[in-house]
Structure 1
Amino acid sequence: MNRSTLAEPYPTRRTLLRTALTAGVAAPLLAGCVTGGGGDADPAAGNTGARTADNPLGVKAETPLEVVIFKGGYGDEYAKNAETLYTRKHPGAKIDHQGVQKIGEALQPRFVANTPPDVVDNTGASRLDIATLVAARQVADLGALLDAPSFDDPAVKLRDTLLSGVVDDGTFAGVPQTLNFTYTVWGLWYSRSLFAAKGWSYPKTWDDMLALCATIKAAGIAPWTYQGKYPEYINDPLLSMAAKTGGLTLVKAVDNLEPHAWKAPGLIAAAEAFAELAGKGYLMAGSEALSHTEAQAAWSKGKAAFIPCGSWLESEQKGVTPPAFDMVMGPVPARTAGDQLKPTAVQAASSESFLVPAKAKNPAGGMEYLRILFSQQSAKAFAQSAGTLPAVAGATDGLTLSSGLGSVRDAVAAAGPETFTYRFRTWYAPLAKALDDATGELVNKRLTAAGWAQRVQKAADAVARDSTVQKYTR
């Protein structure tokens, strides 16, 4: 995602959160040919040392390390901090650090020439197409890194220090090939101070939500608004509700393009819930015409009580939200008492994607750098400076957090192993677009829940039949 400015266009920020792993509508860079000259010579030959308890990845002393970082809204100081730790452990190694904004433009020629850096933060609007790199065998298998002792505790493997789903997010055909540093959570946002002043409690069930919406509307406040020009925002709570009802079986059926997946009872029930939200007049008038910044500004000004969004919202609203607004995020309420997932389950996925090129000169050093970056010390410093949840479990423990980030951390903790994510959006852009359009029609009362399911299923079937589209399964 391109976080160089808080006012960036929605498709860049939003879509790139969803496409940290595979190609998406933002058109990441990489030509069809990603292999070049150089023969079969191993560029890492002679650059690997003996693996020991103190050097589990076999970093050879004094071997240079080249690090390329996406320098967006998070900057690159957090990466430099990890480099400092690296040189303390390997004092003879010289590090070549590059912070760039256009990763694809800078590195595509180098991948073609088989002269890539040793570790890459492949993020931003012009990131490299990771699916193409993987298919061309240009990305190293990170299994040895994940199974290595963590930098903090040699008794704990690195993979066991990561939040739920992080390893899966970077796995292609059973092989872990990227490792994502940040963790994004989706839910419903509200002002804790407003709710306290009004005596309102956050709803745990959809029936509770509808009852509260009636109370909110009677108080002269719109219960909900949403980023109407980009209905993907309101898709998230709808899909979260469906996942809670139908469980991971439903999520995987959707992602795997199974016949009739979009007509599952959980999805129909969720669509009916949001049709009812609109039908009862609980969406702020005019929301359909609002951009993400406009809808979020209206919400920050108290014109609506709820807004759906990901965990970047607090950062994005800096300078707009009034003092003492005290924004927090809650999980999507349960649709039924018999849901397969608990009410605390949340939709979450990792982003800020790091990889070690297969043709790197110092792949052992690249993995060692990631072992250090994903340490408690590095992750904790990142959380403090960026105000964003790292993908390392416990990285925010003991920190004084803002209201928004604190609520995101608490939501992840409450969900435990019940975090989930859909992947069809990153895999199949035409299906994602069809869903967005259908949901926009649904919440503006121009499409019924049954019509919504039929329309989206038709789009899914078209993708499934298209032999030119590469298919993925989970």
Structure 2
Amino acid sequence: MPNTPHITRRELLRGAALVPVAGALAACATPAAKPSASSSAAPVATSAANPFGVADNKPLEVWIFDGGFGQDYAKNIHQPLFKTKHPGVEIKHNATKEITKVLQPRFAGGNPPDVIDNSGANAMDFGALAQDGQLQDLAALLDAPSWDDPAVKVRDTIEPAVIEYGTYGGTFGVLGYVNYIFGIWYSQKVFRDNGWTVPKTWDEFLKLCETIKKSGKMAPFTYAGKFPQYLYDPLLTMAAKIGGADVLVNIDNLEDGAWKTEAMKTSATAWAEIGAKYLMEGTAGLDHVQTQTAQNKYKVAMLPSGSWLENEQKSTTPADFEYGMFPVPDFTGSDKLPYGTLRSQPGETFIVPAKAANPQGGMEYLRAMLSKKAAGDFSEMVRTVSVVKGAGEGRTLSPGTQSATKALTAAGTNTVYFRFDRWYLQLKDEAIAATGELMSGGLKPEAYLERIQKKADEIKNDSSIKKYKR
């Protein structure tokens, strides 16, 4: 995705030149005692106002993923707020689109920076970082007094999923800052002008695609052909709707045959039909920006993405475009999960390296980010939803953010997610490549699932790779 976030947001295949480096990190992941914050820096006295003992004479090095959300929010919101309580701390701000290429050598050298937004196309492998003891345990952050109210702990100001999603091997070490909401995105203006109705069932979706195709006005559907993870998101979400949330839990847990269930086969077959009949011409050779810009130019009606989309496309979106998002439609009335179920999970992920020179300052930086003001200003600036409870209250939200937030509220507890793409990079890369072939007709659904299952089995049987469980 990005220059895009997250993804996580939106993470893209790493370049071939980076694979050996990532492999080296995973290969050196042998059991070892986790470095403690005190091994990096002796903290000053702690207090309710300074819970981690931040030293004002110690600089703080921050690296931001310069993707769909840019870097201005860090420079203009988070860092000035941090300085209100720690004016003596020199903040060394940096930004890059190439997180792995730039920062992984510093982990190998034992001198990583203090705060990293480890997101985007080339995010470092979280599973390998955790396995190698490179992530600071952020339990102290969760139990610290919140920036806004010392009587309230940080953990009580954020969505519970943040803690679950950021825990690796029992240790909370990854802070997701954005509440990513995934679905099918469209122009509300275009749908109104053409009398097109948001589909709630798969049959309605197919009929809408046929109507749009026959209209000759635009193509019905596209996705980032160069980065097929954009498409495996709705495919996996639909499988979970059909077969229940355990479909994704079993995939994450590397259960035998998890990729080859009937729910997965049904979903893969359905999306392969979209690939065969309704894709915008040339989709396979286009990236996320090209397909998203084609939508802004009214060349295509719908595409799958996450709630970072609106901000990412702000420079090319017509003023009256009016982004909207709808959840993956019901496949049949027998789906195990109800209409409105969608994928939502914390994204734009921040870490404090265990061997950082100033981990106390790093955790304090995250504490400032999680204030209601910082999160609210962030949400308004980059048109997205923060994980801080109530941060959007009283804010002016954009059409796409309003639409996605409304969908998430309607979903209630019916949200799903998967973690295999964070835990096992090789499995993610195989799923990406296979999904591209499925959508272009190079693989039939059964062969598609067989290919990914084979990779999952290889990882399961490789004793050198640490396994994670949901």
Q: Kindly tell me the number of residue pairs found equivalent between the two proteins.
A: 458
1:18-77 C-alpha deviation (Å, 9 max, x unpaired) = 569xx9986476756799xxx99944665242444x55x243574535131226242255
Of residues 242, 252, 257, the one that matches 1:255 is 252
Distance in 2 of aligned mates of 1:224 and 1:115: 46
Deviation at 1:2, TM superposition (A): 6.4
Q: Give 3-state SS (helix, strand or coil) of 1:81's partner.
A: helix
CA contact (8 A) 1:24 1:429 kept: no
Whichever residue aligns with residue 346 of structure 2, its letter is S
CA contact (8 A) 2:37 2:355 kept: no
Q: Give 3-state SS (helix, strand or coil) of 1:472's partner.
A: coil
Confirm or deny that 1:268 pairs with 2:262: no
Distance in 2 of aligned mates of 1:41 and 1:313: 37
Of residues 53, 58, 78, the one that matches 1:59 is 53
1:276-425 correspondence runs (5 A): 276-278=273-275, 281-360=277-356, 362-425=358-421
**TM-score in terms of structure 2 length:** 0.83
1:411-445 C-alpha deviation (Å, 9 max, x unpaired) = 33333333332222233344334433443343344
Per the alignment, do residues 2 and 196 of structure 1 end up closer, same or farther by CA in structure 2, a change over 3 Å counting? closer
* 1:452 corresponding residue in structure 2: 448
Per the alignment, do residues 276 and 161 of structure 1 end up closer, same or farther by CA in structure 2, a change over 3 Å counting? same
* 1:9 corresponding residue in structure 2: none
Confirm or deny that 1:226 pairs with 2:223: yes
1:23-102 correspondence runs (5 A): 27=19, 42-43=38-39, 46-52=42-48, 54-55=49-50, 57-59=51-53, 62=56, 64-70=58-64, 72-73=66-67, 74-79=70-75, 81-90=77-86, 93-101=88-96
Per the alignment, do residues 95 and 414 of structure 1 end up closer, same or farther by CA in structure 2, a change over 3 Å counting? farther
Whichever residue aligns with residue 336 of structure 1, its letter is T
CA contact (8 A) 2:131 2:466 kept: no
Whichever residue aligns with residue 92 of structure 2, its letter is H
Per the alignment, do residues 104 and 427 of structure 1 end up closer, same or farther by CA in structure 2, a change over 3 Å counting? closer
* 1:189 corresponding residue in structure 2: 185
1:186-225 correspondence runs (5 A): 186-220=182-216, 221-225=218-222
Deviation at 1:359, TM superposition (A): 4.0
Per the alignment, do residues 83 and 231 of structure 1 end up closer, same or farther by CA in structure 2, a change over 3 Å counting? closer
Whichever residue aligns with residue 250 of structure 2, its letter is A
Q: Give 3-state SS (helix, strand or coil) of 2:9's partner.
A: helix
1:110-129 correspondence runs (5 A): 111=107, 116-123=112-119, 129=125
CA contact (8 A) 1:2 1:125 kept: yes
CA contact (8 A) 1:43 1:361 kept: no
Deviation at 1:375, TM superposition (A): 0.9
Per the alignment, do residues 305 and 82 of structure 1 end up closer, same or farther by CA in structure 2, a change over 3 Å counting? closer
* 1:17 corresponding residue in structure 2: 9
Deviation at 1:461, TM superposition (A): 2.5
1:148-178 C-alpha deviation (Å, 9 max, x unpaired) = 3322344543223223532223211011012
Distance in 2 of aligned mates of 1:405 and 1:386: 10
Deviation at 1:192, TM superposition (A): 0.4
Per the alignment, do residues 196 and 45 of structure 1 end up closer, same or farther by CA in structure 2, a change over 3 Å counting? closer
Whichever residue aligns with residue 170 of structure 1, its letter is G
Whichever residue aligns with residue 398 of structure 1, its letter is G
- Identity percentage of aligned residues: 41
Comparing 316-325 and 304-313, the one that deviates more: 316-325
Can you give the 5+ residue segments of structure 1 that lack an aligned partner in the other structure?
7-12
Deviation at 1:376, TM superposition (A): 1.0
CA contact (8 A) 1:33 1:112 kept: no
Q: Give 3-state SS (helix, strand or coil) of 1:215's partner.
A: helix
Deviation at 1:299, TM superposition (A): 2.6
Per the alignment, do residues 267 and 71 of structure 1 end up closer, same or farther by CA in structure 2, a change over 3 Å counting? closer
Of residues 166, 173, 192, the one that matches 1:170 is 166
Deviation at 1:195, TM superposition (A): 1.0
Deviation at 1:188, TM superposition (A): 0.6
Q: Give 3-state SS (helix, strand or coil) of 1:165's partner.
A: helix
Per the alignment, do residues 365 and 278 of structure 1 end up closer, same or farther by CA in structure 2, a change over 3 Å counting? closer
Distance in 2 of aligned mates of 1:393 and 1:344: 22
1:277-329 C-alpha deviation (Å, 9 max, x unpaired) = 345x3333443344434433333332332111222322333333334222212
Deviation at 1:402, TM superposition (A): 2.1
1:338-380 C-alpha deviation (Å, 9 max, x unpaired) = 3333322222333333223334455444322211111111111
Comparing 324-333 and 363-372, the one that deviates more: 363-372
Whichever residue aligns with residue 260 of structure 1, its letter is G
Of residues 240, 244, 248, the one that matches 2:241 is 244
Per the alignment, do residues 78 and 267 of structure 1 end up closer, same or farther by CA in structure 2, a change over 3 Å counting? same
Distance in 2 of aligned mates of 1:45 and 1:437: 43
Per the alignment, do residues 382 and 122 of structure 1 end up closer, same or farther by CA in structure 2, a change over 3 Å counting? same
Can you give the 5+ residue segments of structure 2 that lack an aligned partner in the other structure?
none
Comparing 384-393 and 119-128, the one that deviates more: 119-128
CA RMSD, 1 decimal: 3.5
CA contact (8 A) 1:119 1:354 kept: yes
CA contact (8 A) 1:34 1:111 kept: no
Deviation at 1:245, TM superposition (A): 2.1
Per the alignment, do residues 159 and 79 of structure 1 end up closer, same or farther by CA in structure 2, a change over 3 Å counting? farther
Per the alignment, do residues 97 and 416 of structure 1 end up closer, same or farther by CA in structure 2, a change over 3 Å counting? farther
